[in-house]
Amino acid sequence: MSIGALSESLVVDEFDIASGVFGSFRLKSFYQPIFSRAGGALHLTGLQGMSMPSLLGQPVAVDAFRSECSSEVQGRVSALGLAVQLHNYGHVGIAGLDLHVDCDPCGGASVLSLLSERYAPGCEDVVLGPEKLVCEVSSSTQADQDFWDGLEELRWKGVRLAGSFGADRTLPAGAKADLVRIESAWFRKICNEPTARLLGPMISVMRSHGAKVLIGGIDTAHQLRIALEAGADQFQGDFLARPVSAGCAFDETQLSIAVLLGGGQNVVSFRR
């Protein structure tokens, strides 16, 4: 599905903020900050793109929205949500941030065509170059070989590929991940178990294979401490910053780790 084919489903307001139209629903883009550690602070280095449905101006639960989407239109809806995120990235107002997007195999050829056209020779996006895009695979269950081949072609252009640990979001054995996301529910569960110390060695193995590690779903200071001690590269969660809608200002202020942890306690690595 081309960008032109999606244009009739995109509505752009007077501020050039786009939203997607699907029946009576509107898809709006939100971005949640992703942080990296630099000394005693966390600084903003990326954004997680999200497409949130609304109906008559009110937010709608994602599950409720999906129940309205038949399998025949899943690809179009996935591509439409991605198109909104890509369009509105230019209004973030902070140059150089990575954009993490969900490459849903349900979208299949539609999602891949959208990205391939965006980075076709002569059509490269200057604002969001391919080296700034991170494609996170949302599920491996519906991905066929054509899908993986398409992602590899995007990687050749500079797009990075992310897998996931702790859910079904795994990559094929032959696919090399540039980044591994520690799935939020799995991470929060291990934080409540005595096995939390195993996280550090696991991350060390992932990094030894050339992948950076992102931990999402950080909701408390305790969880942040575990993520820091384990040696993760990137950090995301409502405790650090909530998603912000497209067009709103982002706070670039570095976050003090001492303040976040409450009392300036030292962070000692659990890795061995």
Give the pLDDT confidence of 154-181 residue by residue, as tens digits: 889 999 999 888 655 456 656 688 999 9
Give the pLDDT confidence of 21-73 residue by residue, as tens digits: 888 888 999 999 999 999 899 999 999 999 888 887 888 887 777 777 766 67
Q: Cα-flanking dihedrals φ and ψ of residue 133, to 5°?
A: -100, 135
160-165: long-range contacts (C-beta < 8 A, 24 or more apart)? 160/131, 160/133, 160/134, 160/135, 161/134, 161/135, 161/137, 162/100, 162/134, 162/135, 162/136, 162/137, 162/214, 163/136, 163/137, 164/136, 164/137, 165/202, 165/206
**CA-CA-CA-CA torsion sign (17, 20, 25, 30):** negative
Spatial separation of the C-alpha atoms in residues 139 and 29, rounded to whole Å: 21
The pTM of the full predicted model, rounded to 2 decimals, is 0.89
